[in-house]
Amino acid sequence: MNNEELEAIFGLDTEDRYDYFLDTVGEEREVWILVNNEDHFLKLHSDEHGGFEYLPVWPTADFASAYAGDDADLSPRGIALPQFLKKWLKGLEKDGIEVGVFPGPDKSVWLMEPAELERDLREELSRF
């Protein structure tokens, strides 16, 4: 994907990026996160609604890399969709961590409960 395509999709509003995320993950069967050099996944903190932590996720490695920018400590890591649905979302729910779907460079993000994302992903998968 070239920079123009990345910028065009990052330029969409959060709802349209969410739809793009569902479509792409449904086709590719993979979710992308960022991990640091110690293999810990990136968690971000939101000050909205009393503050909470969330796991940012992207539909492709290109978007995760673009979000990380020049931070040499962060690199994209793919998670197979079945593992993400069965292990990751359940663990996030248990730990009280929300999901930030497809954050943009401007820090805009679609925030949701893990169970909501699981429902939407399973619905998307039923279309294939």
| pLDDT-derived band at 72, boundaries 50, 70, 90 | confident
In a domain, 37, yes or no: yes
Q: What is the pLDDT of residues 10-56, one digit of tens each?
A: 999 999 999 999 999 999 999 999 999 999 999 988 876 567 899 99
| pLDDT-derived band at 61, boundaries 50, 70, 90 | very high
Distances (CA, A) of 82 to 33, 60, 65, 85, 122: 15, 16, 23, 5, 10
Whole-number pLDDT of residue 49: 59
Q: Which domain holds residue 53?
A: 3-122
Q: What is the pLDDT of residues 81-107, one digit of tens each?
A: 999 999 999 999 999 999 999 999 898
Whole-number pLDDT of residue 58: 98
Whole-number pLDDT of residue 28: 95
In a domain, 66, yes or no: yes
In a domain, 128, yes or no: no
Distance in angstroms (rounded) separating the CA atoms of residues 105 and 69: 9
Whole-number pLDDT of residue 107: 87
In a domain, 127, yes or no: no
What domain count does the chain have?
1
Residue 62: CATH number of its domain: 3.40.1350.90
